Amino acid sequence: MEMITTTYDTPLLMALAQLGPHDHQSLIYERREDRLAVAIPFIQIGLDRGEKCIYIADDGRETELREAMDAQGIEVEPAIAANSLVFATKEDAFLKYGAFDPDRMPAFWEDAAAEATRQGFSALRATGETEWLLSGPPGHERWAEYESNLTHVLANLNCFALCQYNRQALPPDFILNVIRTHPTVIYRGVVCRNMYHVPPAEFLATNQTEHEVERLLTTIRERAVIEQTLRQQHNELRALANRLMHAQDDERRRIAAMLHETTAQDLAALKMLLARLNRSADRLSDRERDDLAQSISLAEQSMSEIRTVSYLLHPPFLDEAGLLSALRWYAGGFAERSGIKVDLDLPESFERLPLDTETVLFRLVQEALTNIHRHAESPTASIRLWSDAETLVLEIEDRGHGIPSALVKHIRGGAGGVGIASMSERIEQLRGRLEITSSVRGKTGTTVRVWLPLAKDAG
């Protein structure tokens, strides 16, 4: 059968695409939309891959399913004609002999998988609805036994199954057994490897309780070990991030010094030589004098740009005069370059902070103002800095169109990579806290606020 190469670009679709033969998964859903959001792509992926797809539908559902598949671009009729897609009923699959008999089901799946292979399909993919069990057909009380054994059956077949369960319709003890009997559970759009799965040998054993106690205790211990490992790795990553940020600051300082001490000096020497030539410009042609004047202008422009880049990388004011001078200098330059008016509310004097702390606060202002320029469309920005005996507060505010709440939550969660998110990490390392408040309504803008504890004097 022809296989279509398709790229799946959402987390759910990518996770569904990772499922394959021998997998046994359950879909536990609460709404019709949740059921279709998994079941239809499950079938679509199988058809794209040249697999035979069987959909065991509850009574009266086939028309709804056909329409849903058609809406997702599945060519239903050609797929049925090619035997790639089969709609089956509960009688076809589970009640063939008038009652449900789990002992007959392994042979049913073995025959179905073998037929798919004979027909030239790469695998058999099946999904089934289960609300028909609520009618209580004979043998339904052995359903959990069947589901547990199905994991073992599928392990030996070129076949995999998605079993659908409506949490709103089926009783909680039934859903509990669904969780226990499926290695993979799909719930609310997430494909989860199931830590609560009970292996068939345990689930079907006579001493099930003893096995479950042992398994739960093992799971508790393993989870504690995993959590401890994750905490350790998180701390190691934070330490590495801290070292990388310090290395970045050192590299900025080094490049800034190199630009100032070498490139800027070379340009100054070039300008002096050009000025010397200019003193004898009367010997040159008009075109040569124009070229010389343009060269002098380019040298001056390059010197100015090199000086600006050097200062932006690491302003000398920060090391020499401290945070307040650096903020005043940067705010003035930013306003000139961007056209955004920056209001400063800074104390007249301020006791010097550790250089690392001043650097972090300066970089935060840099990043916040850059974001205002790029994204906020705000005519103004303000920077406020104040403190009491124990706490320093830095606030950067704009009156732009704000940040969507989902993105604010994303940044607060430490996501986003560089920029404000990485600044948040550095603030935490200084035992501080960063808060972002924003609204996209009424042009109320965005506020970035930092609280840092001040070191107390000894004694």
Instruction: State which of 141, 176, 204 marks the end of a domain.
Output: 204
Alpha helices in 49-192 (DSSP H): 62-71, 76-81, 90-93, 105-118, 143-154, 172-180
Q: Is the CB of residue 5 less than 8 Å from the CB of residue 144? A: no
Instruction: Kindly report the pTM of this predicted structure.
Output: 0.61
Identity (one letter) of the amino acid at 449?
A: R
Identity (one letter) of the amino acid at 234?
A: H
**Are 194 and 341 within one domain?**
no
Q: Please tell me what DSSP assigns to residue 60.
A: T
Q: Is the CB of residue 54 less than 8 Å from the CB of residue 88? A: yes
Q: What is the CATH number of the domain that holds 410?
A: 3.30.565.10
Structural domain includes residue 286: no
Distance CA 17, CA 85 (A): 18
pLDDT for residue 240: 85
Structural domain includes residue 264: no
pLDDT for residue 212: 81
User: What sign results for the dihedral spanned by CA atoms 414, 416, 417, 419?
Assistant: negative
**Residues forming beta bridges with residue 382, ordered by sequence position:** 343, 397
Q: What is the CATH number of the domain that holds 123?
A: 3.40.50.300
Instruction: State which of 181, 204, 227 marks the end of a domain.
Output: 204
Q: Is the CB of residue 333 less than 8 Å from the CB of residue 341? A: no
Q: Please tell me what DSSP assigns to residue 136.
A: -
Q: Please give the backbone phi and psi of residue 219, each rounded to the nearest 5 degrees, phi first.
A: -65, -40
Structural domain includes residue 396: yes
Q: Hey, is 87 helix, strand or coil?
A: strand
Distance CA 356, CA 95 (A): 73
Residue 256: both structure tokens together: 């800034």
Strand boundaries in 129-271, DSSP class E: 159-166, 184-187, 190-193
**Are 195 and 344 within one domain?**
no
Domain hosting 455: range is 317-459
Identity (one letter) of the amino acid at 356?
A: D
pLDDT for residue 36: 96
Cβ-proximal residues to 167 (8 Å cutoff; 6+ apart), any chain: 28, 29, 30, 175
Q: Number of structural domains, the chain?
A: 2
Q: Could you say which residues of the chain have pLDDT below 50?
A: 4, 6, 415-418, 458-459
pLDDT for residue 441: 60
Instruction: State which of 204, 224, 239 marks the end of a domain.
Output: 204
**Angle, vertex CA 195, rays to CA 191 and CA 199, nearest 5:** 110
DSSP string, 398-414: E-SS---HHHHHHHHTT
Strand boundaries in 318-364, DSSP class E: 341-345
pLDDT for residue 407: 65
